[in-house]
Amino acid sequence: MHRTRLAAAALAALIVGTGTSATPAGAAVDPSSSSGKASKAMAHIDIRVQVSPTSWSGDCARGHQFTFTAHISVLPRTKIRYRWIRSDNATAPVQELDFRLGPSTQAVGTTWWIGAPGTHWEAIEVLSPDSFVSQRASFHLQCTNRAAR
């Protein structure tokens, strides 16, 4: 189990800046696999979350919009239930993706308009068939106006 956590942490560290991937709780990561896919009960769920831009500096009174995109891959093909979660504890409504008839990878997205300075993040929380949270896609917002500091 300790090796599994280390392998998952090493995988997450390798993809920082290019997105994030999720590993279900209790999943085994095969270190000999070049794909780095996580598995649990024969299910492979891979999530890569990205944010654009990763940093912004400007007038926080007007705020700025950050766009998040997640590429979710599921094998074998099944339905999943998920929601977006944020660093300010906000959660989006639960949504469902059906991979049974369409492609095994689907893209989903959301936006966040924010004017609070600091480092913030969003992630995907998968609710079924497994329950886990993806790695976070973080951004930094710096305010140039005095009132927002």
Question: What is the C-alpha separation between 26 and 2, in angstroms, rounded?
Answer: 11
The pTM score is 0.71
**What CATH number has the domain spanning 2-148?**
2.60.40.3880
* Geometric angle at alpha carbon 46, from 44 and 121, rounded to 5°: 150
Among the ranges given (34-48, 64-78, 88-102, 114-128), the one the predictor scored with the smallest mean pLDDT: 34-48
Sketch the domain layout of the chain as residue ranges: 2-148
Please write the tens of the pLDDT for every residue from 12-43. 333 333 343 444 443 433 333 333 344 345 56
User: Are the beta carbons of 8 and 134 closer than 8 angstroms?
Assistant: no
In the prediction, which pLDDT does 31 show?
Answer: 35
